[in-house]
Amino acid sequence: NAGVTQTPKFRVLKTGQSMTLLCAQDMNHEYMYWYRQDPGMGLRLIHYSVGEGTTAKGEVPDGYNVSRLKKQNFLLGLESAAPSQTSVYFCASSQLAGETQYFGPGTRLLVL
Amino acid sequence: AQSVTQLDSHVSVSEGTPVLLRCNYSSSYSPSLFWYVQHPNKGLQLLLKYTSAATLVKGINGFEAEFKKSETSFHLTKPSAHMSDAAEYFCVVSPTNDYKLSFGAGTTVTVRA
């Protein structure tokens, strides 16, 4: 039981490049989330999903898109990376709203 | 609306001495409260969770937290710090049965030998 996994662990992009971050969970959870973590700001919710085929905007969605084609996977896309998107990205999942969220190990992204 | 204030950005303790991490919250609803720990270059791990049962909540690794509604506080304590407790700690609030988590800015704990 791997829990929540994220791919890749680290990536360097140039401004304007695109990339996709992959999150996978093996707990059969309904809810999945993408957060970004910046120094001194805790974690902020980018997008979330309440089930397969659904997505919704969180607190800081601009510049990101997401898809949840399969229940176990939640993809975060950056269409045109900007230096302001340099951050550590965490994926999480929970069975229901209000239940404990389980976090992946994070993806460190540097945009030059 | 909900928010979390962690009163100390950095706490330094000696090994074997008590640890206190302070957290105040505001919430329009009856909240669920969490403490998560993040070790360097790792993901977040749940330490403990309060959901309107007992006000004193015991977590993993000897940590516990007390919910005080009158003070809107949820402070985290451990009687005796260990070197492995060096990490960043996040206090988190959520309306009960809601997906939305509001994170504090974090408290970095260093443990001196």
Tokens of B110: 């260093």
Q: Following DSSP, what letter does each residue of A12-35 receive, concatenated?
A: EE-TT--EEEEEEESS--SEEEEE
Nearest residue, CB atoms, B42 vs list A43, A94, A105: A105
Q: Best of A101, A102, A107, A108 to disrupt the B interface by mutation (most B CBs within 10 Å)? A: A101
pLDDT band at B51 (very low <50, low <70, confident <90, very high): confident
Tokens of A36: 């970004």
pLDDT at B113 over 80: yes
So what's the pLDDT on residue B95? Answer: 78
Residues B7-33 have a mean pLDDT of 92
Question: B44 and A103: CB-CB below 8 Å?
Answer: yes
Q: What is the 3-state secondary structure (H, E, C) of B37-103?
A: EECCCCCEEEEEEECCCCCEEECHHHCEEEEECCCCEEEEEECCCCHHHCEEEEEEEEECCCCCCEE
* CA angle, A99 then B45 then A68, to 5°: 55
For residue B96, give Cα distances in angstroms to A8, A78, B30, B53, B101: 33, 32, 6, 12, 10
Question: B49 and A48: CB-CB below 8 Å?
Answer: no
Nearest residue, CB atoms, A42 vs list B32, B90, B100: B90
pLDDT at A106 over 90: yes
So what's the pLDDT on residue B97? Answer: 73
Q: B75 vs chain A: nearest CA distance in angstroms?
A: 17
| Alpha-carbon dihedral sign for residues A82, A20, A94, B43 | negative
Q: Which chain B residue lies closest to A9 (C-alpha atoms)?
A: B41
Q: A10 vs chain B: nearest CA distance in angstroms?
A: 11
Nearest residue, CB atoms, B99 vs list A31, A102, A104: A31
Q: Which residues of A touch B45 (CB under 8 A)?
A: 103
- Cβ B73 vs Cβ B24: under 8 Å: yes
- Residue B74: which of B28, B25, B109 has the closest Cα? B25
pLDDT band at B101 (very low <50, low <70, confident <90, very high): confident
- Residue A85: which of A58, A48, A60, A49 has the closest Cα? A60
So what's the pLDDT on residue A40? Answer: 80
Count CB atoms within 10 A of the CB of residue B111: 19
pLDDT band at B38 (very low <50, low <70, confident <90, very high): very high
For residue B34, give Cα distances in angstroms to A13, A38, A82, A109, B96: 34, 20, 33, 27, 12
pLDDT band at A97 (very low <50, low <70, confident <90, very high): confident
Q: B63 vs chain A: nearest CA distance in angstroms?
A: 17
Residues of B with CB under 8 A from a CB of A: 4, 9, 32, 34, 36, 41-46, 49, 90, 94-101, 103-106
pLDDT at B40 over 90: no
Q: Which residue's entry shows tokens 């001196």?
A: B112
Q: How many whole angstroms separate alpha carbon A90 and alpha carbon A38?
A: 11
- Cβ B41 vs Cβ B29: under 8 Å: no
So what's the pLDDT on residue B2? Answer: 78
pLDDT band at A18 (very low <50, low <70, confident <90, very high): very high
The pair phi, psi for residue B58, each rounded to 5°, is: -100, 140
pLDDT at B29 over 80: no
Tens digits of residue pLDDT in A32-89: 999 999 988 889 999 999 999 999 999 999 999 999 999 999 999 999 999 999 999 9
So what's the pLDDT on residue B94? Answer: 86
Tens digits of residue pLDDT in B53-83: 788 999 999 999 999 988 999 999 999 999 9
Count CB atoms within 10 A of the CB of residue A51: 12
Q: How many whole angstroms separate alpha carbon B67 and alpha carbon A89?
A: 30
Higher pLDDT, A23 or A1: A23
So what's the pLDDT on residue A41? Answer: 80
